[in-house]
Structure 1
Amino acid sequence: MTQTDDSLHNTFTLAKFAEKTDEGFEFETASGTRVRVDLDEFDQGFPYAAGEEVELLVEQPWAGMWKASVRKAAQLRLWEKMKTMAAENAVVEGDIVGFNKGGLSVDIGVRAFCPKSQIDIHRVNDASPYLGRREKFQIIQFDEKRCNVVVSRRNLLEGKRKEQRKQIVEDIEPGQVFTGVVRNIKEYGAFVDIGGMDGLLHISNMSWGRIDHPSEMVRPGDEIKVTVLDFDPKKKRLSLGRKQILDNPWTDIEEKYAAGDIVSGKVVSLADFGAFIEIAPGLEGLVHVTELSWTQRIHHPREVLELGQEVRVKILSVDTDSRRLSLSVKQLEENPWVKLTETLKPGEVVSGPIRTITDFGLFVEVAAGVEGLVHISDISWNEKVDDANTLYKVGESVEVKILDVDVENQRLGLGIKQLSNDPWQDAADLAKPGKKIKVTITRITDFGAFAEISEGVEGLIHISELAPERVENVQQVVRPGQEVEALVVSFDRANQRIGLSLKRDELEETTAREYSDDEGATAKLGDILRDRLGLLTTEQDPGEDAAAEDDAKE
């Protein structure tokens, strides 16, 4: 069929459906001109009846007639409509079909974009909660060349908000309950719109129970009931509460729970000092870290508990005034320390592996999960131990004597040196001040000679006590291995020091009484010589002898 009407080129026209052919759908214009629409424009089936009039966009001559498009005609008409609506800032409804870091993708008949700054009155950091919602938008921008439509939801909310706020400010008072919308979330709480006015729902007023972050309770867009706690009309500050309209779990708690009750709960928070267990909605108690185990030394509750874990606990105390609930996990089990007193008594000797070595001693496991301390001072009678690591290794089994069992404080005192007799006790029985005893010279120093009194115990013969006359060289008077008879001048068991003399046969009565071990004195040899005998030179510091003696002993 020959086309003769050139005025149809790139124009809109009305045409009636004529027939379907293998090449497409044919329509006839009012002037009798035939136009053809491609078959693929109607994927869902042809929607028109014979003779039905349809608007077409006639594009160009093709295969003996004009090619036209129903789809493009509809789209162009819609874009023209959008251009008019944008100029009028018209309001449309649309489905939110997608989001990205810049904003929302909205279907309003054509694809439109809502920037993040135009989504809500408040800043929106996460746009995902809006996906799938149908909302009203205002068209604020139209780019005909790029075919872009920009819409705003915020403009509509602000307009409505101004009207609502005016009414709210006039009528609001504490105690009123509103259904509000969560607009924004911070670490310290959530801002809730109660109809034109934002109020702060502080995290402490969200729940009777413990929450670490407001997002555990609410999300932007959620509708929640809140009550007015306080309103400052001058500063326009509104404080809201949610827990205040919920049942207070602490009401009549003493009628529901009592010390000794065993209940189940969920771990809702872990802190350095213990774990918080929720035993009823909004009702939490603390299991202190010391109440987690009888035997384990637990540094943090996460070593034995996990968030969300269901546990059984025993109620230790209920403090209604302070709203504190003390709980225990270990009290559900038998206290092994009580049983320990039945099997281990002070004075008994046991063996066990070393579990820990510290600066102050060794922790030895003497029963399953029960450890005792060997203090560093209880390792040796004679040797001064500064670092137990030089003598023992973790895991090594050692024999110890039970010194003390403190069930209440769960402390077990152990000793290693107590496995043998105290050589200083033997020495104390032998070397009494004022008594002459036989000793063997073991070492020689510049300031005197050390002599063995009994096995493992030495005394010092100061150079000034070697002979009645002044001695310049110790070796001129005594030598190692020599056996001599010496007078015991002093006995200081606390500091493990014994003073001897070769030049004297006896002590003055007052001196012997003052420095007697029975009198409990702890005088040093240097003190005796200086105070009673006056034999030290004025140039010598009395403390030097004691320090030198310590060095020599070590």
Structure 2
Amino acid sequence: MPEETKKVDTEKKNLEAEVENELSPINGSQIFRMNKNKKETPRQEQTPAALSEALEPAMEEPVPAAEEEPRIPEIDDAFMQMIDEYMPRSEEAEVGDVMEVPVLDVRSDCVLVNIGDKMEGIIDIAEFTTRSGEVTVSPGDIVEVMIEGRDENTDQVILSHRRAMKRVAVERLRHAVETKTPVYGKVIDVVKGGLIVDIGIPCFMPASQIDRSRVTDLNAWIGKEIEAYVLDYNKERNRAVLSRRQLIEENLDKRKKTLLDSLKLGDTITVRIKSVHDFGAFADLGPMDGFIPREEVSFERTAHPAMFLKEDHEVKVKITNIDKESGKITLSRKQARMNPWDKVDEKFPINSIVTGRVSSLTNFGAFVQIEEGLTGMIHVSNLSWEKGPQKAEAFMKEGDLVKAVVLDFDKENRRLALGLKQITEDPWVKVEGKFAPGSKVKGTVTSLTDFGAFVKLDDNVEGLIHISNMTWDKKPGKPSLYLKDGQEVEAMVLSTNREGRRIALGIKQLMKSPMELFFESHKIGSIVEGTIVRVASFGAFVELAEGIEGLLHVSEISTERVENPAHVLKEGQKITCKILNIAGGGRRISLSRKDVIKDEEKQIMKEYLKSDVKGGFNVGELLKDLKDKIQ
């Protein structure tokens, strides 16, 4: 086969494919129009297969050799009839008419389109080329064009896509202004104070009209397709000012109204937290925000909203107020949850053990959060079984997990009493058996006070040695005279008080008292010598030893009747007496001066009777001397 014939066959095949590509999308959809008022006539549907059959005769014809370049073979009437069935016939188009046409080919200098009735039109390629040199049209595209006339040399119809778009744009602007509807366009440039939007003609959009919030980067908008309202239109100059912000706000108002109409008081909804502040939080409801006041965030009275709400996190809330006039919606996270105090007695009965996190420390104790909205307090008195002031920071710090025992609760006032020391057994339960009265114990002096010394007996029990139990002296000195801090000491348990958690100790009880020592050598009937310390109407008190006194009754002062003891006795006077009786464990001693006188009289008489003395012996004078001696 000759080379030229091969080229022609190739071009026929290309033509066949091109026609199939062009006509297939046109079938049923890509029908261009030359006159909007023309009524289309029904046509028979054709398939690409049927078109190929029609092409067969045309492709089998011999093709004459060409001297210069191969020529596309002419298509017979049957093929043209087939094309006519795919395309509606149109009325005669006039200069200035605008129509939609399919693109047949894109060349280096022009774009070839099919304007119907076996006619082709050309459009300058520059009208479809961007500033960067990119061609924005491809074969098969449907474009709007305006008829400008015919080329005298080629008889092709000269078209303009740009002018068609401008006319369409002007019509759109007019319609948008009249009907208050938005227009569509593409941002093509940034100028001082705003953007240039191409809707067929360049329009200006001020930066303040781009969005509801301030736009800082205008260049980021280049190439974006947008929808906007026409704020102002100058018909003479074909200039328009657009506002995307106005359209956004209008749509937002519509959505707000729809939302407000759909919400009901008491509804529980899920929202996304937008921002958290000291005074509360704002939640995203779509076209508007809802507000969660601080006091409605949680049952925790003093908790900061940030403890329970995080930005971009979803949370369930209850609608507590809707103000349609102001467009404000108030929400409550707290009311969307169960109040933990409602069933605190069921969930955390008294004496149950709970686990919580230390939320804060104070001088009087520690606050422990058992669960959200349920916080109890461990008072300092319930930190440890040890006596004396305690500090919460010695046992825990904020954020620690601790176990405690529920001691009591007040649902009405929302108070929960907890105990830390109650987790362990009360050491005083066994203290009476371990430290029985009368037993000897050893301990360490932990502190000295004006009234005594505290002695640590074990890790949880302390005893007190009162100053009066440090010495037998009636007027003891300061405790520091007898004991020192840190000193190991042995003492006797005097008494225990479990309820008052007190143990009385004494060190003087480990020694014999002056009274015990006194009575070891002085029994009833013993003659003692003492000093009168007080004189009363019924007798006189005589100090026999330090801390030991006896009573000399008025009837026992003399062998003669004494009306007033003060007449015969004086304070500070030394006197000899006989112990008549000892009672009350030595606390009551009865004395007699009269018995001493009688005993002396008997002794004098006994000596007199034994004596051999001659001459005058005056017994009366001897007795008188005896009385003076005794006195």
Q: What interval of TM-score do these two structures reach, taking the shorter chain for normalisation?
A: 0.3 to 0.5
| Between structures 1 and 2, the one with greater helix share | 2
Structure number having the greater strand percentage: 1
| TM-score, structure 1 normalization | 0.47
